[in-house]
Amino acid sequence: MGKEVKKIGVLTSGGDAPGMNAALRAVVRTALNNNIQVVGIKRGYNGLMNGDIRELKGKDVSEILGRGGTILHSARALEMLTEEGQKKAANIYKILGLDALVVIGGDGSFQGCKALAKYGVNCIGIPATIDLDISCSEYTIGFDTAVNTGVDAISKLRDTTGSHERCSVCEVMGRDAGYIALWCAMGGGAEEVLLPESKETATSENVIKQIIENRSKGKLHNLVVVAEGIGGSQELAKEIQEKTGIQTRATILGHLQRGGAPTALDRVRASEMGYMAVQLILEGNMNKVIAYNKGEYEAIDIEEALSMQKEFDPKMYEIVKVLSI
């Protein structure tokens, strides 16, 4: 057991992700269940630096389990990258009398935790980003929902693409990581997928060659998924049309992919992670990031979590290729 915990803060930071609310609800209700007061900090670290807070009671987190976005609002706080901003945030933490801070966000947000730890702030990180680009964890809150949204969009595109015997290029989010694109490609049965992790083969020449080959085998429509990290889908669509004579349309899903009700998986994992965050605080097990690996939750030191590298597993990419013939 750690020292008595009376009051904690919680914030959501970086790009919002479906399931952040579910994690917030779990943090608040687990804390209240242990007689801990909870302060909700608005707009990520910006709210911490400016003392923009409100106390959260059980009822304040009612009806949010299945809501996308974050009721606390989120932001990317550039000031937290500066020593001045970090000192300001740590000072407010002390003025508020917080015993710990739960940060629901991505790697960038955990960098904030790492910096604050130097000033005596006790942090617990909960991984939440649609991009799945947090090195220490195989799962991040919001990824499953974003993939489901992408697959749904691709299925709809497939209907119209097939009807007109066209080609569709669908660009999905993911920043510099191709996980969303890869899962959307497999889940949506795409003929081609262009990922930042396989840049050497992700060329328009290769895509066009494949489309021509597909046509010769009697495949009359093609769906190409492009990761945001590759980009240029409008240009790619134009090039495909010019070089193959096949009508081609580009669709960029963009921020549509960040919204919507979280899937059951995201709700369950977010709830478990929120619960675990408070358990770690009660144990005095501070400055950890919660991760989900090989079917189990674990608490990893923030410094270690941030120094880890995620290896891209080419297996799934190979399977998409094999299945697309």
Q: Which residues bind ligand F6P (CB under 6 A)?
A: 15, 129-131, 173-175, 228, 258
Tokens of 281: 């605080």
By C-beta, is 13 or 161 nearer to ligand F6P? 13
How many Å apart are CA 163 and CA 325, to the nearest integer? 19
By C-beta, is 181 or 223 nearer to ligand F6P? 181
Q: What is the 3-state secondary structure of the chain?
A: CCCCCCEEEEEECCCCCCCHHHHHHHHHHHHHHCCCEEEEECCCHHHHHHCCEEECCHHHHCCCCCCCCCCCCCCCCHHHHCHHHHHHHHHHHHHHCCCEEEEEECHHHHHHHHHHHCCCCCEEEEEECCCCCCCCCCCCECHHHHHHHHHHHHHHHHHHHHHCCCEEEEEECCCCCCHHHHHHHHHHCCCEEECHHHCCCCCHHHHHHHHHHHHHCCCCCEEEEEECCCCCHHHHHHHHHHHHCCCEEEEECHHHHHCCCCCHHHHHHHHHHHHHHHHHHHHCCCCEEEEEECCEEEEEEHHHHHHCCCCCCHHHHHHHHHHCC
Tokens of 149: 């949204």
Does residue 15 have a known ligand-binding role?
A: yes
By C-beta, is 150 or 188 nearer to ligand F6P? 150
Does residue 257 have a known ligand-binding role?
A: yes
How many Å apart are CA 113 and CA 123, to the nearest integer? 6
Does residue 249 have a known ligand-binding role?
A: yes
By C-beta, is 112 or 174 nearer to ligand F6P? 174
Does residue 305 have a known ligand-binding role?
A: no
Does residue 173 have a known ligand-binding role?
A: yes
Query: Residues for the chain: how many in total?
Result: 325
CB 255 to ligand F6P: min, Å: 6
By C-beta, is 57 or 199 nearer to ligand F6P? 199
Does residue 258 have a known ligand-binding role?
A: yes
| Residue 131 falls in the annotated catalytic set | yes
CB 228 to ligand F6P: min, Å: 5
Q: Which of 16, 52, 99, 131 is catalytic?
A: 131
**Amino acid at residue number 78:** L
Residue in the structure block whose two tokens are 């021509």: 212
By C-beta, is 65 or 252 nearer to ligand F6P? 252
CB 136 to ligand F6P: min, Å: 16
CB 15 to ligand F6P: min, Å: 3
Does residue 269 have a known ligand-binding role?
A: no
CB 239 to ligand F6P: min, Å: 23
Q: Is residue 123 within 8 Å of residue 103, measured between CB atoms?
A: yes
CB 173 to ligand F6P: min, Å: 4
The annotated binding site for substrate is made up of 129-131, 166, 173-175, 228, 249, 255-258
The annotated binding site is made up of 15, 25-29, 76-77, 106-109, 129-131, 158, 166, 173-175, 189-191, 217, 219-221, 228, 249, 255-258
The annotated binding site for ATP is made up of 15, 76-77, 106-109
Instruction: Please give the positions annotated as active site.
Output: 131
